[in-house]
Amino acid sequence: MVRSLVVLPDDTAQPILDAISHAGQSLRIKMFIFSDLRLLHAVIAAHHRGVEVRIMLNPERRSGKKENADSRKRLTEAGVEVKDSNPCFDVTHEKSMVVDDKAAFVHSLNWTTGNLTETRDYAIVTSHAHEVDEVIECFEADWSRKEFNPSEHSCLIWCIGNGRQRIGQFIDDAKDSLWVQNERYQDPVIIEKLVSAKVRGVKVHVLARPPHKLKKEKLLEAVGGLRIMADVGIKVHKLKGLKLHAKLLFADRARAIIGSINLAPGSFDSRRELAIEVGDQEVTDRLHTIAHQDWENSRPLDLTDAGLLAELQQADPDVAEDLALNPDHE
């Protein structure tokens, strides 16, 4: 029983394609966005060779944008059984796959060509039976629109559930170093935990998306969170050359959380999300290398009033008022 790490785009889609092509009995797939043609063809081929394939797709974003309609049509026309994800949640942001009841993939990435080729993303593959069974249990509950009650002692982290508490405790337990890669830093509880870690002497490194990549309605919370962290001396950088889509926390070169959870209230309180906490040395050794490489391939975000104005005012003429920016302040 082992866990392994997939790093995107370094490892390409091949580990996922290999798992699908080797499936002999069943595939359970739950995905926020599924549009990559190679993966679509692989899943349809599995169905045609007799594998029981069931797929849950998020029907639309909260904005109403539908991103899975074409893929659902392709899959359905090929005879694959497809359902909308559980309507109990505003959005199903979980990205998971279970192969033959023996291995579970817990992704940060969507099954889009961009996430496979252009973004920093991760997946953990686990063959621990109790973890695989738990992912299956949630899939079956969401498929049948029934309640799912996760184990409190599992390495899996579920939202809605104990996600904020588990991630908060993970940060509180960090002793020496904490590397965080995430698109959004909006949850005040988690931001306070990161500030507290810095204050007690933990070396905190934060990779974030540039503010202009964020949705306008998220700017207040997101920029505020980044600036609070920067104000206490947390280093906040943006990645060069790759887009950041990962959701990673990596502490003390010994423990990591990888999955779909953004550090935002919506992820904790209204979305179906899944992450996993791991401490396998093979995984943490590689994460140590990748985290340091990404940091070397990054540069500080300019979060000064003048820097934010220069970056954002063309996209949002009201940004100075909205964020109370004063370029003469610095």
- pLDDT per residue rounded down to tens, the chain (330 residues): 599 999 999 999 999 999 999 999 999 999 999 999 999 999 999 999 999 999 999 997 766 678 899 999 999 999 999 999 999 999 999 999 999 999 999 999 999 999 999 999 999 999 999 999 999 999 999 999 999 998 878 999 999 999 999 999 999 999 999 999 999 899 999 999 999 999 999 999 999 998 766 666 666 777 889 999 999 999 999 999 999 999 999 999 999 999 999 999 999 999 999 999 999 999 999 999 999 999 999 999 988 878 778 777 766 777 767 777 776 655
Ranges of beta strands (E only) in 78-143 are 81-84, 91-92, 96-99, 103-107, 119-126
pTM (predicted TM-score):
0.94
User: Tokens representing 138?
Assistant: 């949630």
How large is the angle between the packed helices 188-199 and 219-231, nearest 10 degrees? 10
Are 249 and 167 in contact by the 8 Å Cβ rule? The answer is yes
Q: What CA–CA distances, in Å, run from 212 to 215, 238, 298? A: 8, 12, 17
CA-CA distance, 327 to 81, in Å (whole number)? 56
246: helix, strand or coil: coil
- Give the residue carrying structure tokens 């309507």: 87
CA-CA distance, 90 to 267, in Å (whole number)? 10
| Cβ within 8 Å of residue 154, ≥6 positions away | 130, 131, 134
HEC string of 169-224 equals HHHHCCCCEEEEECCCECCHHHHHHHHHHHHCCCEEEEECCCHHHCCHHHHHHHHH
Comparing CA positions, the residue from 303, 184, 298 lying closest to residue 241 is 298
